[in-house]
Amino acid sequence: MSALVLRNWEVTVLDSLETRVHGSTPKPVLPRGVRFLHADVRDKSAWERALEGVQIVFHQAAYQDYMNDYSTFFHSNVVGTALLFEVIRQHHLPIRKVIVASSQAVYGEGQYQCTTHGLVLPSARSTERMQRGEWEVRCPQCAEFVQPLLLREEYSNPFNQYALSKFSQELAALRLGRAIGVPTVALRYSITQGPRQSLLNQYSGILRIFLRRIKARQPIIIYEDGLQTRDFVHIKDVVEANLKVLETENANYEAYNVGSGQRTTVLDYADLLARKLKTELNVRMAGEFRVGDNRHSVSSIDKIRTLGWGPRRSLDCIIDDFLTWINDLGELPSDIPDAEAHMRAGGIVQTTNATNPA
Ligand SMILES: NC(=O)c1ccc[n+]([C@@H]2O[C@H](COP(=O)([O-])OP(=O)(O)OC[C@H]3O[C@@H](n4cnc5c(N)ncnc54)[C@H](O)[C@@H]3O)[C@@H](O)[C@H]2O)c1
């Protein structure tokens, strides 16, 4: 948003200030001159008010994380997006472009290479296998171990409620946009990090969760064996990707990955953070896992590179910028809910029965 204000654009923000993200007494900090609507994307009249005089929509609002109220994902992420296009069409609004935040989650367990069967798209790992401590992915046809590939845009395979809703959201956006002639782009972000992300939401967001445990002198909880791989991108790179597709007509009606293209294991990530905080790495790796978690998620960024975008900030820079921001803030908020206990009670976090997980 600051990037838009710096360009002297008039900006309106529509946000329902969800408690899980903003806490029970939200205090949105907005640049001067930004119009704020405290409203919900599931409310058609909210869109009607928000879109008055607007030319460009960056649709970032979403219901996320490991929650079991499945329908909320679809109401917020899919119905909310359908309403956006319904309002544009009904009122013949002169919207020049819609850019929707999608997610790497649309790939589900991802894309793998089997030595016998070539490219395979495995199903989510079963809870039974995870309970036996079998973490790595096998070929759905011959059950041999398979090698993870960088995720390419053409093979989506969503499983969980969040991923299904994000995939449905981007399909709705790209196709309704095309139907009414409003150029629309979906950006599938990898794990996005940086200053000003919510510190209260402890259901997801590896950096804020690990940092909070280190600061509280508690061991970092590592699920599985810590060798699952992830892909991290700086918030400023994501902002630049949004601006790039905004300016590029070739991008219209397409979905693009926005990530680093680099594999990082969760364990290496924890180690890097501990080193930056000059503290001994202290982890609890007790064969715990999250039901529905994917094993390897690293995006290919070949497609968006053709538009002239590439990530400019390293993993070091991502963590440094975040830590600088935290230092400037002083303390971490004290009223963070214990998401771990909640996920455990809900059966989302489980422990393997295996004595020697593989
Ligand atoms: N952060 C990541 O790592 C990541 C990765 C992939 C995709 N994304 C996508 O990027 C977008 C932004 O993610 P984020 O991490 O900043 O999320 P966030 O949870 O920090 O912020 C989402 C915002 O949406 C608002 N919101 C939620 N439901 C709403 C509703 N029904 N009506 C109006 N506002 C509502 C929340 O109050 C919050 O301010 C989301 O669409 C998310 O799916 C994020």
296 falls within a domain:
yes
17 falls within a domain:
yes
Q: Encode pLDDT of 262-301 as tens digits.
A: 999 999 999 999 999 999 999 999 899 998 889 999 999 9
Q: From CA 121, how far away is CA 273, in angstroms rounded?
A: 32
335 falls within a domain:
yes
- C-alpha 174 to ligand 1 mean position (Å): 19
Question: Which domain covers residue 344, as residue numbers?
Answer: 2-351
Structurally, how many domains does the chain consist of?
Answer: 1
Sheet with 184-189, strands from edge to edge, namely: 56-59, 97-103, 184-189, 255-258
Q: From CA 260, how far away is CA 228, in angstroms rounded?
A: 16
pLDDT higher at 354 or 170: 170
57 falls within a domain:
yes
357 falls within a domain:
no
Query: What integer pLDDT is reported at residue 8 of this predicted model?
Result: 92
pLDDT higher at 260 or 330: 260
Q: Encode pLDDT of 208-239 as tens digits.
A: 889 988 988 999 999 999 999 999 999 999 99
Residues 220/267, Cβ–Cβ less than 8 Å: no
Whose C-alpha lies nearest to ligand 1, atom 13?
A: 60
Q: From CA 171, how far away is CA 164, in angstroms rounded?
A: 11
219 falls within a domain:
yes
At 20, which CATH number? 3.40.50.720
- C-alpha 350 to ligand 1 mean position (Å): 26
358 falls within a domain:
no
Residue 338: pLDDT over 90: no
Question: Can you give 299-327 as a three-state secondary structure string?
Answer: ECCHHHHCCCCCCCCCHHHHHHHHHHHHH
Name the average pLDDT for the chain.
93
Residue 358: pLDDT over 60: no
Does the Cβ of 103 fall within 6 Å of ligand 1? yes
Query: What integer pLDDT is reported at residue 292 of this predicted model?
Result: 83
Q: Work out the average pLDDT over 52-67.
A: 93
356 falls within a domain:
no
Alpha helices in 233-278 (DSSP H): 235-247, 266-276
Kindly report whether the global pTM for this prediction surpasses the value 0.85.
yes
Query: What integer pLDDT is reported at residue 2 of this predicted model?
Result: 85
Query: Which range among 18-27, 105-114, 213-222 shows the weakest confidence by mean pLDDT?
Result: 18-27
Residue 88: pLDDT over 70: yes
pLDDT higher at 352 or 315: 315
Does the Cβ of 51 fall within 6 Å of ligand 1? no
Whose C-alpha lies nearest to ligand 1, atom 26?
A: 61
Best residue among 15, 24, 209, 233 to mutate for probing ligand 1, ranked by most atoms within 8 Å of CB: 15
Q: Work out the average pLDDT over 293-314.
A: 97
Residue 199: pLDDT over 90: no
